[in-house]
Amino acid sequence: MSATEPRPAQSVQPELTARPARYGLLGYPLGHSLSPQIHQRLLAEAGLNGTYELLPTPLEQLQDQLQQLVHNFDGFNITIPYKQDVMAVLDQIDPEARRIGAVNTVVRADDGTTTGYNTDLAGFLADAPELTGQRVLILGAGGVSRTLAFAAAVRNAREVTILARNLAKAEQLAASVQALYPDCPITITDDPQHCLQAEPLDPQDRPVILNGTPLGMWPKTGALPVPLALIKQAQAVYDTIYNPFVTRLVAKAKAHGIPAKTGLGMLVNQAILAQQYWNPTAGLSLEQAPAIIAELAREIYRHSPLTLILAGFMGSGKSRIGRELAAQLDWPLLDLDQVVEQEAGRTIPEIFASEGEAAFRSLERQALDRALSADHCQILATGGGALLSPEAQAIVRSRPALILYLDASLETIEQRVGDGSGRPLIAGGDRERLHQLYQTRRPIYEALADLTIDADLPLKTKLNQITAILGLGGTPQ
């Protein structure tokens, strides 16, 4: 079948008394996709009788599956890697989808003809940071980055840089965009250092970073798509990954005061726009997105569990914060010191006295490794030195976890640790030793942290900030 410009198509309008309309998502792999939850919620709100199915399809089954879809489904979405392949079997393609070169939504009309649309671009633009007149840095050159590049051109970005390991794909993407938007200046590079600028930067020269790569996606949440130095130069960050709810890229940006968000808004927006094509009289609108996003946070944590690691100097309040958070979120709390003592059958001061600090740290790393193997969300309160070694840091970065640093002032620490009872490193209240440890460790904690909270703030304020960042309540301060 040839792809021609679309003629007006009326999508099937399901009624509660008619057979359920069938919708679905084609792609491979699909993993724990949130699309069924989003679309079932939209169908229910509109009073429509329909189902939405996940259709994971390997490449060798693609053609047969497409034929089934165009004949038996009222509409369907397409995700990676088939947004271009599907275009060859459709009767019509919307002009905007043709310009972008990708289809993610297909409508089957009453007469059986199929039309392909692209709702990714509009869905992203409705959620994106300001791009007009800005320097835009796009990470990656795959299908998602294609949407980001066209969005930057549509919004008249001042200049666009595509940072990608595959320079050939980046060149193809740049050529596709400039064929339609010749006035959009685009450069490509595979070297992050090329994107760094000399400090200090004028605010207008700070780039908007748009991540189209899968780096940082669950379960490999420890990955960063660019060096921290480049993140710190951004004026805004948008990570199209939405799983986990807070990616390390977004967390790092927020920790340095940079506005940042993940791609859950884009996902929900494109689903609403797809439903508008399938059911144009149902009254669905993008104004419904915030309520749906709020509900999806817990769904993401349920399907893709994360460990929130509480780190900081002794006396920073890790145990207290851990208990309160565990109660609020209904996540189990593990205290790493207690785990070590239970497994060793001795107290930490006894381990230090009999075997020394090196032996204790080895036991601690083993306990950390086992704790991070959990298949559920949890909170892990760690001792002051638990994450200082490269070995411990490697363990954390290899697992789905975020490090929350509780940054307490030295004055607060001194008040809380008292005479150092039960703390082998400052036994006897050695204040000079305490000060040395604090000055040595604080920069390490700051560099390790994905999120930082002022531990001197009132307890309620700290809890509010943390739950807000996690998308599980609270109000961002």
Question: First vs last Cα of the chain: how many Å apart?
Answer: 55
Q: Return the residue matching tokens 């869905």.
A: 123
Indicate the burial class of 338 (C-beta count within 10 angstroms; 0-12, 13-18, 19 or more): middle
DSSP string, 164-196: -S-HHHHHHHHHHHHHH-TTS-EEEES-GGGG-
Give me the residues paired with residue 262 across strands. Answer: 239
384: closest CA among 444, 343, 321? 444
Is 206 within 8 Å of 259 (Cβ atoms)? no
Name the helix (H) or strand (E) containing 99.
helix 95-100
Amino acid at the residue 246: V
**How far is 224 from 217, CA to CA, in rounded Å?**
10
Respond yes or no: is residue 83 known to be catalytic. yes
What are the CA-CA distances from residue 176 to residues 166, 182, 183, 386, 425 (Å)?
16, 10, 13, 50, 61
Q: Return the residue matching tokens 């999806």.
A: 296
Amino acid at the residue 87: M
State the angle between helix axes of 289-303 and 264-278 in degrees (0 to 180), rounded to the nearest 10: 120
**What does DSSP say about strands 236-239 and 208-211: parallel, antiparallel, or unpaired?**
parallel
The tokens describing 11, both together, are 């999508």
Choose, from 83, 252, 261, 462, the residue flagged as catalytic.
Answer: 83
Q: Return the residue matching tokens 């021609």.
A: 4
What are the CA-CA distances from residue 66 to residues 3, 90, 284, 340 (Å)?
15, 10, 27, 55
Name the helix (H) or strand (E) containing 273.
helix 264-278
Residues in the chain: 477
Question: What is the set of active-site residues?
Answer: 83
